[in-house]
Structure 1
Amino acid sequence: MASSSSTKLVFFACCLLLFTLSDNLVAGESDKVQLNLYYESLCPGCQEFIVDYLVDFFDTDLDTITNVTLVPFGNAKLYDNLTITCQHGEEECELNKVEACVINTIPDPKLQYSLIRCIENDTKNWDSCFNGNKDDIAIGDCYTSDLSTKLILEYAKQTLSLNPKKEYVPWVTLNGTPLYEKINDLVAEVCKAYKGKAPLPKQCNSSALGKRKVWSKLQVSYANEAIHY
């Protein structure tokens, strides 16, 4: 009996240790830095940001301290009758819907981002990113139904209720605070913003940050023009 009890205690202690180690390696959801990207599908700066900037958060261990949320509405205009017009025309409105359906259908952030990155990398041939699997069919069903419009209207509400208001796209916030020109060194800003207990990812080491390319010019689009800063 004593031997059995001892075995159970040792097993329990091992489980507790594993749980504690796991908890220390990955930040809890409430501890993670919340990175929101407000964008539109055919904005050149948004495309560059998604393809070249955001990849750091999905191809490295930065995802252990960061939640990334994509909001595809951008500089579109919403009228009282719920009509939406997009800065780059109807094609952009349709692609915004496609990407809204991707976000709604695929729960895994890395798979979600991978598909949106594929679309943004070649918006002329975006349909080549789909191969007819189960998720693709669900995304198509979403796109052709009223759900896609409902999703975009929700993204419109989120974008238009920002405080402070969005000035251009891509518009990036960390824990609700706009980055403005600090967007050019996004990884460093995320590392600085993280206040959780989990160890910082290796990408946050000073040596790693020192080797990173800091983007000097990211094109941003206002409602009626595009500029560089």
Structure 2
Amino acid sequence: MKTLLLLILTVWLNIESSSGTLSSSCSYAPSKWCSSLDSAIQCGVLKQCLEANFTRSHQKEDRIEVGLYYESLCPGCRGFFTEMLFPTWILLQEIMTVNLVPYGNAQEKPDGQKYKYECQHGETECLGNMIETCLMNMTDYSGLIIFCMESSPDVIKSAQSCLEIYDPKLTWDSVMSCVKGDQGNQLMHQNALETGALKPPHQYVPWITINGEHTEDLQNKAMSSLFTLVCGMYKGTKPEACGGAKRHYKSYCHNE
């Protein structure tokens, strides 16, 4: 039955969207076009989504997990995230997952039933760490929002506008409620525990792990070319970006 439905949908799309034009009724961001059948149809990209899902379903190897232990205002962290990690993540999302842990060299101190934090670059960095932590718990667009923040001249001042661009349905008030409340405090505590459990213990940030492992060799390779490292380590069928077989279907917006 599923095979028949897939065939019907594919034939339907070949007829309905042969022009490759994005539907004007699409209300989803590009990263969510393939999140459901409804979104794919509404946005006129069902054929692309079917092909992408077919490719993912045939990937038998585990994805490469890249862990980044960082601080929101650390210059080296910002440079690595915006210039190396995020572009690689976009290109290799089929074979790569990312675990972001904003904490780094912060210090945690018990304060009754909660915790207080001192950050390497001051209270503003603690705020940035907390905003990004809450975003990761509240929206599927957190990677895009954090990239927007970290690539801007002012990480904190850009946070609200970045949120409004990538997830306008999530209110800034709800994010700040998390930041100032028990939820954010507990989420940051988990970041502290995860960072403190690193083996070997982190000595600096950005601190990079690959599939949960950190060595100086992996760190240096990731800092030099994370793209090359992930492509080389992935054991399954290489995606086109890594030099694998080209996909058969391409979508273009033709001149009419």
Identify the TM-score tier after normalising by the shorter chain.
0.7 to 0.9
- 1:173 CA drift (Å): 0.8
Q: 1:58 to 1:176 in 2, by over 3 A?
A: closer
2:73 paired with 1:34 = no
- 1:79 CA drift (Å): 3.1
Within 5 Å, give how 1:1-229 maps onto structure 2: 11=4, 25-26=55-56, 31-60=62-91, 62-81=92-111, 82-107=115-140, 111-122=141-152, 123=155, 125-126=157-158, 127-131=160-164, 133-137=168-172, 138-178=174-214, 179-183=218-222, 184-196=224-236, 199-205=237-243
- 1:202 CA drift (Å): 2.2
Secondary structure in 1 aligned to 2:203? coil
C-alpha separation in 2, matches of 1:9 and 1:102: 36
- 1:125 CA drift (Å): 2.7
Q: What are structure 1's unaligned runs of at least 5 residues?
A: 1-7, 207-229
Q: Which stretch has the larger CA shift, 162-171 or 87-96?
A: 162-171
Q: 1:163 to 1:203 in 2, by over 3 A?
A: same
Q: 1:150 to 1:202 in 2, by over 3 A?
A: same
TM-score relative to the length of structure 2 = 0.65
Q: 1:174 to 1:9 in 2, by over 3 A?
A: closer
Secondary structure in 1 aligned to 2:66? strand
- 1:9 CA drift (Å): 11
C-alpha separation in 2, matches of 1:170 and 1:121: 16
Residues 3-49 of structure 1 deviation map (CA, whole Å, 9 limit, x = unaligned): xxxxx79838969xxxx976661166971111111100000011111
Q: 1:168 to 1:14 in 2, by over 3 A?
A: same
- 1:144 CA drift (Å): 2.6
8 A Cα contact 2:88 2:226, kept in partner = no
- 1:205 CA drift (Å): 2.1
Compute the RMSD of aligned alpha carbons: 3.0
The percentage of aligned residue pairs carrying the same residue is: 33
C-alpha separation in 1, matches of 2:2 and 2:136: 44
8 A Cα contact 2:78 2:150, kept in partner = yes
Q: What are structure 2's unaligned runs of at least 5 residues?
A: 9-49, 245-256
Aligned pair count? 190
C-alpha separation in 1, matches of 2:183 and 2:130: 9
Letter aligned with residue 172 of structure 1: I
- 1:130 CA drift (Å): 3.4
C-alpha separation in 2, matches of 1:172 and 1:47: 13
C-alpha separation in 2, matches of 1:83 and 1:29: 43
8 A Cα contact 2:89 2:97, kept in partner = no
Runs of 4+ in structure 1 off by over 4 angstroms are 12-15, 20-24, 27-30
C-alpha separation in 2, matches of 1:94 and 1:201: 38
- 1:203 CA drift (Å): 2.3
C-alpha separation in 2, matches of 1:149 and 1:91: 16
TM-score relative to the length of structure 1 = 0.72
Q: 1:29 to 1:43 in 2, by over 3 A?
A: farther
Q: 1:140 to 1:83 in 2, by over 3 A?
A: closer
